[in-house]
Structure 1
Amino acid sequence: MALVNPYLAFDGNCEEAFNFYKSVFGGEFLGGISRFSDMPSEHYSPGQENQVMHVMLPLGNGTSLMGSDTPGPEAAGKDANVSIAVSPDSEENAKHIFNGLAAGGTVIMPLDHAPWGALFGMLTDKFGFKWMVNYDANAGK
């Protein structure tokens, strides 16, 4: 079995976004925030020195959310046809995560009971990334 860890590309606001995600999920950045200035200058463009080269926020159960500032067409954000699915461990945690990520964003489907028995909701966060929150009390039983 392999773990899948989303790696988000930003156009200069990675640090702001990851501080926001840290406020929602809690925890600390693994290894801190690496900046382009930590590398030899031939590996980044002038003006990119203080931007994020790599950041990693552990979310639990061996998964992490990772990201970097990647200017240009590689920066995904709202145009990406991808959603990040989160499976919280409790209804309370599902509400906390959903409401936290929705702050400043757009709720696509409010967090509510879904036909498959789970508490489910979808949103786009204020950085343009799509999230699905699914808490299933019967999962793993």
Structure 2
Amino acid sequence: MTYRTSPYIDFPGNAEEVLTYYQSLFGGELEIAKYDDMDVSQFPFTPPPGIVAHGDLRGPHLNISGGDDFGPDPKSLEERGLAMSLYANTAEEAREVITKLSDTGGTVEMPFEKAPWGGWFGQVKDRFGMLWQISADPGSA
């Protein structure tokens, strides 16, 4: 049996923008399904125009799924307290991801350094408020 796991994120109305951004950074295939393209006449709710019902980014380094939260007061990614853990094979690969995230509007929350447990670790909050916890193996430099 083969499994694939993916976080499912309720985005605060910007699912397509965020998933497209992640695709630009990490690659992969992005599929977006909007309520506009569905027959919603049988749904117990009326979605606003342009809202993403489901998005799925599948790539060599990352799988993320999600859709737009169109409730009365959707929380930002930062308010939700979400974090993505990214495990790089080398510290150099990790630094490349940190650079991509920070150069496109993110902020380094914790410098990428040797951690007390022997590996490498740092944190970057991307421009949408998602916290990325980035690790690399202890033997990499």
The TM-score bracket by the shorter chain reads 0.7 to 0.9
Give unpaired runs (5+ residues) of structure 1: none
Query: 1:120 matched to which residue of 2?
Result: 121
Q: Is the contact between residue 83 and residue 131 of structure 1 (CA under 8 Å) also seen in structure 2?
A: yes
Q: How much does 1:132 deviate?
A: 0.3
**What is the aligned length?**
135
CA distance in 2, matches of 1:135, 1:59: 19
1:46-77 deviations in Å (ceiling 9; x for gaps)? 5x33221111112447x611121112345451
Q: How much does 1:5 deviate?
A: 1.7
Q: Is the contact between residue 9 and residue 76 of structure 1 (CA under 8 Å) also seen in structure 2?
A: no
CA distance in 1, matches of 2:67, 2:37: 13
Normalization by structure 2: what TM-score?
0.79
Aligned counterparts, 1:44-83, within 5 A? 45=46, 48-60=48-60, 64-72=63-71, 73=73, 75-83=75-83
Normalization by structure 1: what TM-score?
0.79
Q: CA RMSD in A?
A: 2.6
Give unpaired runs (5+ residues) of structure 2: none
Letter in 1 for 2:70: P
1:94-131 deviations in Å (ceiling 9; x for gaps)? 12222222331221102222122222111221111111
Q: Is the contact between residue 27 and residue 60 of structure 2 (CA under 8 Å) also seen in structure 1?
A: no
1:105 aligns with 2:106: yes
Who wins on radius of gyration, i.e. which is larger?
A: 2
